[in-house]
Structure 1
Amino acid sequence: MTNDTAIPAPSRAPLAGVRVLDLTRLLPGPVCTLHLADLGADVVKIEDTGAGDYAAPPLRALVHRNKRALRLDLKQPAGVEALKALARTADVLVEGFRPGVMDRLGAGYAALAGINPRLVFCSITGYGQNGPMRDAPGHDLNYCALAGVTEQIGQGGQPALSNLPIADLMGGALTSAMGLLAALFDAGRTGRGRHVDIAMADAALAHNLVAMVTLNGHGATRPAGADKLSGALPCYGLYRTQDGRHLAVGALERKFWDGFCETIARPDLKARHLPASPAEADAVRADVAELIASKPLAHWQEVFADNDCCVTPVLRLDESLDTPQFRARRMVLDAPGGAQLASPVQMSGHAFEVRRPAPRPGEHSDELLAEAGYTAEQLAALRASGVVA
């Protein structure tokens, strides 16, 4: 990252020295702690001695880099004691069990805060620690559906699925990171941690702002594909090209629409930027669609390359990884086993790096427990009893 500033920048990672215990699995929690690890936190991935984190190897490679790994059986009292030993010097613990599980294990917030008052304890669940659905199972689709998000995605009255897990990542990962970092900042001032309660359904609802604007302004939401950002406006949509690809036109502002119309040699469409009726919108969209469909995507990429009107190609991910923009931002790193997506947080004095690849399950068990004060004899006994693997 290039940052032209006369102020000397810090030379260490912003979360250096922060210890995070990660008891989550699959996607939401691991991505939350991935962001923390990429910013320099010492993240310890703790999984059970049985199935462990059953994420597929390619996912594990992406979301567990820069972490250390420990396998611990929390169903045995000695396993809980080992977790408590780790928690004594930890700053953050992130867990993704159903409400009450950590308490039943004897390792809930109250128990661990009694050992380490500064500990920030973050619980990530689908529906939160209270409410009639607190114990209900769910996945990203369920959280988005309940929060009115899924109903707004799609065309022609048919909701659509997204391959980007919105609630998992925006709620389980980013909202959790925001909440626990706020609590961590406050713990630095007060010496007291907090229990951070994150519900992925809450996060989906809290960010469903465009539909909420329509509801508050008009008394009802519009059907999927019929709101300003979901397909109602010809200046903001996707157009099929001659070769079956698509062009994303995001010319919402009048100046961008004017530039778009000039570029496609249709200045007569400038005045129809915001059509007065659905019928007029359909007519403008049809004119634009016919024109875009007359040439392949490569043609339009060249035409719009230097035009300031918010038009981009709809790329496959493999194409995205090789775009000059993402390469210039160093967002893609070539690594053994496949490309790595870099941290999206860039700041002065800190350069993202893969300090260590994703660990094998339990790769650092002995090392971590030794740091917590266990002797070689105690570690051997824990292994013999199946508490540690």
Structure 2
Amino acid sequence: MTQNLPLDGIKVLDLSTLLPGPLATLMLADAGADVIKLERPGAGDEMRSYEPKIGEASANYAILNRGKVAYGVDLKDPAAREHVLRLAAEADVVVEQFRPGVADRLGLGYEHVRAVRPDTIYCSISGYGADGAHAGRAGHDLNYLAESGLLGVVQDSSGSPSLPVTVIADIAGGTYPAVVNILLALRQRDRTGEGTQIQVSMTHNLQVLAYGYVATHQGGGGWPTPGAELLTGGSPRYQVYATADGRHIACAALEQKFWDRLTDLVDLPVRFRDDTGREAEATAALAERFAAETAEHWQRLFASEDVCTTVVSTWDEAVAAGLVDVDRAERVVDPGGSGAVSTLWSPIAPGLRSAAADVPYPQLADLPRDGSDPWQA
């Protein structure tokens, strides 16, 4: 293990499941923190059951929880709860992902933890925040995107929103704000000696991704018209176009210099260099040009040009181009010895994170009650 990492000596108690919290604590672990993850007795985190598997746990679980220690604990059991509070008394950071109020009812809320560790950093991740009319509702990524207004800004030809390419709210609205705020809270504690409670609302944090829409509204421009804004389908310069062989072109030639060169290369009529007021006509004309040739033709044509226009890659193509790294030296291994896969790409800079070659994902163990140190498992 690389030594002298930024979070060496920091202990994190992770009460979360599935994606947002576990990905956040993975990043903390990558930076040197010791992470104990508490899961349901027996089955553990639901993500363990997903397919495909590496040994007894899913590949999803493995790459999100490598290097952690996992214990099965019934949080509704008063005796077990006391053991959890003893863990919390040693933890610098506690991360939970229950609906608002659940941790309090379990006796593991912020005030309960603060009573045993006054300088705790307590981070709660929820769909809609700690209070308000939506706070107690169940939801998933798609619901948060839908209710934030973001899902509806791009529509297909029938006027329907499309499914998002990934779980945007979970990661951009949950994981990243949690990590940023935990690190800031640790820095603040270094200076003041005080802990803090952090509330992360995945839906509310999506406003950061909607910064342009918010700014336009605040400036008097109203809210976005679905499918009609510069980046949502209203401009020929920022569109996805079909090719003759059923592939697609991602055009993002927003700046005039890129747009001018693109129109030259595809032989678009000169009048479309100024597309103001004729956006729909220019979009139709460009769609016709792209549909006349194969993706390979356009890829060759644009290969040496700066036009911000590219073929939409398959996963195989993205891997071959080196833009998706699935053959990393660092691996997550099945502790039972039945397999290994490359670790998930980390956004943490190499000099700030562990460079261990083989790191196991955690087997689910019973929480030690014999006096042994659970952090040293």
Q: What range describes the TM-score normalised by the shorter chain of this pair?
A: 0.7 to 0.9
Q: How does 1:72-221 map to 2 (within 5 A)?
A: 72-156=73-157, 157-221=159-223
CA distance in 1, matches of 2:266, 2:329: 33
CA contact (8 A) 1:82 1:369 kept: no
2:12 to 7, 11, 20: 20
Q: How does 1:232-243 map to 2 (within 5 A)?
A: 232-243=234-245
2:258 paired residue number: 256
Specify the SS of the correspondent of 1:185: helix
The residue type equivalent to 1:36 in the other structure is: L
> Alpha-carbon deviations, 1:127-170, whole Å to 9, x = none?
11111222111111221122111121323432222141221111
CA contact (8 A) 2:241 2:248 kept: yes
CA distance in 2, matches of 1:242, 1:311: 16
Structure 1 position 317, deviation (Å) = 3.1
1:295 to 293, 305, 324: 293
1:385 paired residue number: none
Structure 1 position 342, deviation (Å) = 0.9
CA distance in 2, matches of 1:211, 1:331: 38
CA distance in 1, matches of 2:330, 2:248: 27
Structure 1 position 352, deviation (Å) = 4.9
Structure 1 position 104, deviation (Å) = 1.9
The residue type equivalent to 2:44 in the other structure is: G
CA contact (8 A) 2:37 2:68 kept: yes
CA contact (8 A) 1:67 1:356 kept: no
CA distance in 2, matches of 1:16, 1:269: 61
**Structure 2 residue 49 is matched with structure 1 residue 47:** no
Specify the SS of the correspondent of 1:188: helix
The residue type equivalent to 2:226 in the other structure is: A
RMSD (Å), alpha carbons: 2.9
The residue type equivalent to 1:359 in the other structure is: P
The residue type equivalent to 1:233 in the other structure is: S
Shift of the 350–29 alpha-carbon distance from structure 1 to 2, 3 Å rule, reads closer
Specify the SS of the correspondent of 1:341: coil
CA distance in 2, matches of 1:82, 1:333: 34
Specify the SS of the correspondent of 1:370: coil
CA contact (8 A) 2:34 2:375 kept: no
**Structure 1, unaligned stretches of length 5 or more?**
1-9, 380-389
CA distance in 2, matches of 1:369, 1:152: 56
CA distance in 2, matches of 1:11, 1:306: 44
Instruction: Tell me the number of residue pairs that the alignment of Structure 1 and Structure 2 aligns.
Output: 360
> Alpha-carbon deviations, 1:331-357, whole Å to 9, x = none?
797764555431023254656556513
1:304 paired residue number: 302
The residue type equivalent to 1:52 in the other structure is: G
CA distance in 1, matches of 2:236, 2:171: 30
Structure 1 position 217, deviation (Å) = 4.0
Structure 1 position 26, deviation (Å) = 1.1
> Alpha-carbon deviations, 1:278-332, whole Å to 9, x = none?
xx112212222222222222222222222222122212334323322445x9879
Shift of the 75–81 alpha-carbon distance from structure 1 to 2, 3 Å rule, reads same
CA distance in 1, matches of 2:175, 2:320: 26
Q: How does 1:354-373 map to 2 (within 5 A)?
A: 355-362=358-365, 365-366=367-368, 370-372=372-374
CA contact (8 A) 1:85 1:372 kept: no
Shift of the 17–368 alpha-carbon distance from structure 1 to 2, 3 Å rule, reads farther
The residue type equivalent to 2:256 in the other structure is: R
Specify the SS of the correspondent of 2:118: coil
CA contact (8 A) 2:114 2:120 kept: yes
The worse-fitting range, judged by mean Cα deviation, of 77-86 and 87-96 is 77-86
> Alpha-carbon deviations, 1:169-199, whole Å to 9, x = none?
1112111111221111111111111110111
Specify the SS of the correspondent of 2:233: helix
Identity of aligned residues (%): 36
CA distance in 2, matches of 1:46, 1:150: 33
2:276 paired residue number: 276
The residue type equivalent to 2:104 in the other structure is: D
Shift of the 14–306 alpha-carbon distance from structure 1 to 2, 3 Å rule, reads farther
CA contact (8 A) 2:10 2:91 kept: yes
CA distance in 1, matches of 2:123, 2:304: 46
The residue type equivalent to 1:25 in the other structure is: T
CA contact (8 A) 2:238 2:251 kept: yes
TM-score (structure 1 length as normaliser): 0.83
2:232 paired residue number: 230
1:387 paired residue number: none
Specify the SS of the correspondent of 1:228: coil
CA contact (8 A) 1:11 1:350 kept: no
CA contact (8 A) 1:150 1:160 kept: yes
The residue type equivalent to 2:223 in the other structure is: T
1:343 paired residue number: 346
CA distance in 1, matches of 2:12, 2:217: 41
Specify the SS of the correspondent of 1:230: coil
CA distance in 2, matches of 1:349, 1:330: 21
CA distance in 2, matches of 1:351, 1:300: 42
The residue type equivalent to 1:116 in the other structure is: R
TM-score (structure 2 length as normaliser): 0.86
The worse-fitting range, judged by mean Cα deviation, of 226-235 and 296-305 is 296-305
CA distance in 1, matches of 2:372, 2:269: 72
